[in-house]
Amino acid sequence: MADFDLKRTIELAKKGDEEAFSSLICRVQNSAYSIAYRYMENDADTRDAMQEAFIKMYRNLGSFKGDSSFETWFTRILINCCLDELRKRKSSPGWEDIDDHYDLADHEAGTEEQVLKKERQRAVTEAIRQLPEEARNIIILREFRGLSYEQLADVLDLEPGTVKSRLNRAKQKLKEILSESLEQNSIWDV
């Protein structure tokens, strides 16, 4: 959707045009699922967080001024919805058990290389879970969602230089956690 078309769609949605609002949802829903799933780690909770974010988007569309991109503005709403839900749980941030997340039958049917790849993915997922919230947010948005430093700065309300330094610290912490995992397991040996 061209910038002019997007601006027009936003203006129509602000005036209550349901088709325009649906168009905005279509514009962000795939990336929204990807982002929310990184936080919620299961389909039902991911869809609940997205629904809450779409409701907030509808209610707050009038406050969108265009200072940042529409996607960045919506991503901030979505992340806040995910974090609010995780805070409500008060326990471990809603991550599924490894056995629920990975199908054991795939391990039996797969090659040794596939099994090792899944084990590595589990280790990285577990390490990300252990990061503090701020570090986890930066890692997820940069490494899994591919946001630029400028987009991260907008979403997290930080300066780009601060984003870079916090991302470096988050990566260092992730490496430390993975190193500890490496010492405890042999999943990295091929």
- Domains in the chain (CATH in brackets) are 3-89 (1.10.1740.10), 100-184 (1.10.10.10)
Higher pLDDT, 103 or 23: 23
CA-to-CA distance for 56 and 184, rounded, in angstroms? Answer: 44
Cβ-in-10-Å burial (0-12, 13-18, 19+) of 136 comes to: buried
Q: Is it the case that residue 165 has pLDDT exceeding 50?
A: yes
User: How high is the pLDDT of residue 101?
Assistant: 42
**What value does the mean pLDDT of the chain take?**
82
User: How high is the pLDDT of residue 3?
Assistant: 67
User: How high is the pLDDT of residue 100?
Assistant: 44
User: How high is the pLDDT of residue 167?
Assistant: 95
User: How high is the pLDDT of residue 185?
Assistant: 62
Mean pLDDT of 44-67: 93
**CA count, 13 A, side-chain hemisphere, 30:** 3
Question: Phi and psi for 94 in degrees, rounded to 5?
Answer: 65, 25
Higher pLDDT, 97 or 137: 137
- pLDDT category at 42 given cuts 50, 70, 90 is confident
- pLDDT category at 25 given cuts 50, 70, 90 is very high
User: How high is the pLDDT of residue 85?
Assistant: 84
Mean pLDDT of 40-66: 92
User: How high is the pLDDT of residue 148?
Assistant: 86
**pLDDT tens for each residue of 110-127:** 678 888 888 888 888 888
- Give me the count of residues in the chain: 190
State the DSSP code for 140: I
CA-to-CA distance for 57 and 73, rounded, in angstroms? Answer: 9
Mean pLDDT of 4-14: 90
Mean pLDDT of 157-178: 93
